[in-house]
């Protein structure tokens, strides 16, 4: 059974870089059948797609965040990562990693999410 698990600091200071990792078990991140994505949910609010990447390393991002976001792959560890630079309080959210089908970006599998608070 596929499992995704987010990890990373729960508290980040304003203007610093938020860094999260998603560890995938029960399946290979190197499969050509899937994309791997990040979605976030501010407290009490809805869902926002951040970006996704393919096993080849190709990425696509939400333009609203593109200038600050990097998603990368570590196939040796079966992990992918998210970095958001220059964070503000508006980046406070639960961050989810998820898997979508190749070419069809609905998300079939989700991690449990990790809460990140931006505060000094």
Partner 1 sequence: DILMIQSPDSLAVSLGERATINCKSSQSVLYSSNNKNYLAWYQQKPGQPPKLLFSWAFTRESGVPDRFSGSGSGTDFTLTISSLQAEDVAVYYCQQYYSSPYTFGQGTKLEI
Q: For binding to partner 1 (CB under 8 A), which residues are involved? A: 46-49, 60, 62-64, 96, 98, 100, 104-108, 110-113
Alpha-carbon distance 23 to 14, whole Å? 26
DSSP structure string for 92-106: -EEEEEEEEETTEEE
| 36 or 96: CB nearest partner 1 | 96
> What letter would DSSP give residue 120?
-
Alpha-carbon distance 63 to 41, whole Å? 17
| 16 or 110: CB nearest partner 1 | 110
| 16 or 62: CB nearest partner 1 | 62
Minimum distance from CB of 106 to partner 1 (Å)?
4
């Amino acid at each position: 059974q596929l499992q995704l698990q987010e990890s990373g600091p729960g508290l980040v200071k304003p203007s610093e870089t938020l860094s999260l990792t998603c560890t995938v078990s029960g399946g290979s991140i190197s499969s050509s059948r899937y994309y791997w994505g990040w979605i976030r949910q501010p407290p009490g609010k809805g869902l926002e797609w951040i970006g996704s990447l393919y096993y080849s390393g190709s990425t696509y991002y939400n333009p609203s965040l593109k200038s600050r976001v990097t998603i990368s792959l570590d196939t040796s560890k079966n992990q992918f990562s998210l970095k958001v630079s220059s964070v503000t309080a508006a980046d406070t959210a639960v961050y989810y990693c998820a898997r979508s089908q190749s070419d069809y970006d609905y998300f079939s599998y989700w991690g449990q999410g990790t809460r990140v608070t931006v505060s000094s």
